[in-house]
Structure 1
Amino acid sequence: MNSCYPSEGKVLTEVDQLMILILNNKIKSSHLDPLLTYLYPTMMYYYNHDIEYTETIKWFVAVGQLLKGKYEMWEVTWDQQSTDAFIYETQKYLPEHRLNRKAFLLQEKRNTNTLQEYLTQLLEHYSRLLVIRIDLQYQVKYSGQISVSDFEMHMKVLRERMSNQKSCFRALEGFAWSLEQGYKQTDKHDSKGSLHCHLLLLYDGSKKDNGYCVGRSVGEKWVSITDGQGSYFNCNDPKYFNQFKEEGTLGIEMTRRKDSDKVQNTINTASYLTTKKDKYEQRLKAKLPNMRTFGHGTYRNTKRRGLPPIAN
């Protein structure tokens, strides 16, 4: 990465945020000049025709090329007239933006329904399941260097390790994952543009019973997969989950089929992967072709008791 430019993920996130402000008529043209002067050449520096961008990124590039395409990116200047034109051309996409956002939220609702159905089947089948929730991310000093291609490669390796069910994935009976991109900047940590995965794992409770240790092992596996660049947050640390235990809302750790309240808490906890209020803002701004951002295991298995064989 060229040190003259901020990270690609941060640029993509800032472009997305800016476009949403313009589409919703929440920014003055006088404030747009310095933002376009900073973002347009940076976005064009990173733009890659082999990557699938979210609609706001595509519109930003399209409008910029319409107005400034005859110039080299380092020659582009923005004045009052050109920023007014940028706003005018961008707002033409408002109807499409509303439709796309609605479609995204509908898809997340479908994801929620299929995830809840999947978990209900698992929780009804096993007498007890050890539920692990872990957030997989990257160390701050490396996060700006991680491309979406790197992220997908790391996730592919992780999913293969889960399928093989060896080492820390032994006795794994179910899983779900969701990929996101941070969009906030706080005093403590700038997560804007950072790529991360929310991961839910369900182990046979008759074979695994220590959630903290399992979560730590999975986290260390992620660090290994990422060649030391990764980091993780283990939600099965008692320092974190005790607050939910006291409130009676704990959905991780051991969940027993006969405990209907805990079963419901587990389903509610899993739904965090698809129902967060800021899910749209945290969607990936760039993807590889055919890259999935959500997935879960398949329950139907002829080895499970009581299930008829699948017809050929």
Structure 2
Amino acid sequence: MYQNVQFQYNPYDQLYHEAEVLAGVDHFIQEVCLGGYDLYHQNLMIDLQKLVQSFKPIYNADFSYCNSVLIFIDVVKIIDYTLSLMPQANYESIVCFDEMTVWHILTYIQSLSGCIQQQLIEHQQRELKNQQSLFDYASALIHHYARTLVVRVDLSIKKEYQALYNIQAFNQALEVLHRRIADQDTCFSGLHGYAWALEHGISKGYHCHLLLMYDGNIHQQGFKMGQWVGECWEQITHGCGYIFNCNHPDYMDTYEAMGTLGIGMIHRHDENKLNNFLNYVVPYLVNAEKEQQHPRVKDEPNMRSFGKGQINAKNRRGL
């Protein structure tokens, strides 16, 4: 696959937000590989034209992309070459490609379906590994302290501002948040442990699931702490951030009625709530079955999509 494409990138020329476009590209390539599009599909070239036109402004040669996007980059090269042979052609001309060119594009994508399958397998393996690591970490903490206040929030960007937040901008905001957590100041004081997972949704764009485990002797109000964290996120994102507070009373009442409530104040000897926390709350943070939520792009090769705190062995009983 080609990786030296020289598209022109202008960060101020984004008609679509990056997360939405890349999710669309990923879906399109997967659909072609699964047979959702064929040579005579009515919307094949219309959909492809729209994706190409929206992909060009958000492409960044310095970013690392997943396999499906790399395949699409190759498709764009084929399209650019084809257009160069057509007099006075532009991207509107994509819908006029002859049958042989369309067949060439489809067969090229389908020939690389193994790369898409490998992408899915790697995502599932990575999530299962992270899930086990988080389970061990959270289990050790929740059983160690007499009572723990568990707070769950989802951090994202308001819909109207998502075009301003590509993966680099969102990741920079997360790094500021991580430093605040590490410093344990303001809304992160009295924190025993934490974990976070970055996801890439189709409608929500880039978002972060955040799990916070506070000292239950210092903090008792989960909803209030969640709101405080939300204010911190809004400050970091200069008012563009959006937060969903899972500790809202109505939300917690729903799960309590279902018998699956695993957030809020948890006492060490409350087996029911402990089990709910470990079997429902923790696995959701890194869920291997959420196949369409994996990040499709990294702003740097070592960018992480999951992280957690560390247990200080000096403060652990029996170690």
TM beyond 0.5: yes
Find out whether 1:305 has 2:313 as its counterpart: no
Q: What CA distance in whole angstroms lies between the structure 2 residues aligned with 1:287 and 1:59?
A: 16
Matched with 1:95 is 114
Displacement after TM superposition at 1:32 (Å)? 1.1
Secondary structure (helix, strand or coil) at the match of 1:281 reads helix
Displacement after TM superposition at 1:45 (Å)? 2.8
Q: TM-score by structure 1 length?
A: 0.90
Q: What CA distance in whole angstroms lies between the structure 2 residues aligned with 1:15 and 1:35?
A: 10
Deviations 1:187-227 (A, max 9, x none): xxxx26x1111100000111111001111100111001111
Displacement after TM superposition at 1:276 (Å)? 6.1
Find out whether 1:120 has 2:139 as its counterpart: yes
Deviations 1:230-263 (A, max 9, x none): 0101110101110111222101001111111211
Matched with 1:310 is none
Q: What CA distance in whole angstroms lies between the structure 2 residues aligned with 1:82 and 1:167?
A: 59
Judge which range, 46-55 or 151-160, deviates more: 46-55
Deviations 1:45-74 (A, max 9, x none): 3221100111111111113213533646x7
Whether the aligned pair in 1 keeps the contact of 2:193 and 2:212 (CA below 8 Å) is yes
Matched with 1:28 is 38
Find out whether 1:66 has 2:61 as its counterpart: no
Matched with 1:280 is 291
Aligned-residue sequence identity (percent) comes to 32
Query: What's the RMSD between the two structures over aligned residues?
Result: 1.9
Which of 20, 26, 29 matches 1:16?
Answer: 26
Which of 236, 256, 271 matches 1:260?
Answer: 271
Matched with 1:179 is 198
Secondary structure (helix, strand or coil) at the match of 1:261 reads helix
Name the count of aligned residue pairs: 298
Which of 242, 246, 251 matches 1:240?
Answer: 251
Matched with 2:206 is 195
Whether the aligned pair in 2 keeps the contact of 1:175 and 1:296 (CA below 8 Å) is yes
Please tell me the residue identity of whatever aligns with 2:47: L
Q: What CA distance in whole angstroms lies between the structure 2 residues aligned with 1:63 and 1:213?
A: 50
Please tell me the residue identity of whatever aligns with 2:264: E
Q: What CA distance in whole angstroms lies between the structure 1 residues aligned with 2:286 and 2:224?
A: 26
Q: TM-score by structure 2 length?
A: 0.88
Secondary structure (helix, strand or coil) at the match of 1:180 reads strand
Matched with 2:54 is 42
Q: What CA distance in whole angstroms lies between the structure 1 residues aligned with 2:34 and 2:119?
A: 14
Distance 1:106 1:174, change over 3 A: same
Any gaps of 5 or more consecutive residues in structure 2? Answer: 1-10
Matches within 5 A, 1:133-144: 133-144=152-163
Which of 279, 288, 291 matches 2:303?
Answer: 291
Whether the aligned pair in 1 keeps the contact of 2:198 and 2:206 (CA below 8 Å) is yes
Matched with 1:211 is 222
Please tell me the residue identity of whatever aligns with 2:156: Q
Find out whether 1:149 has 2:168 as its counterpart: yes
Displacement after TM superposition at 1:305 (Å)? 3.4
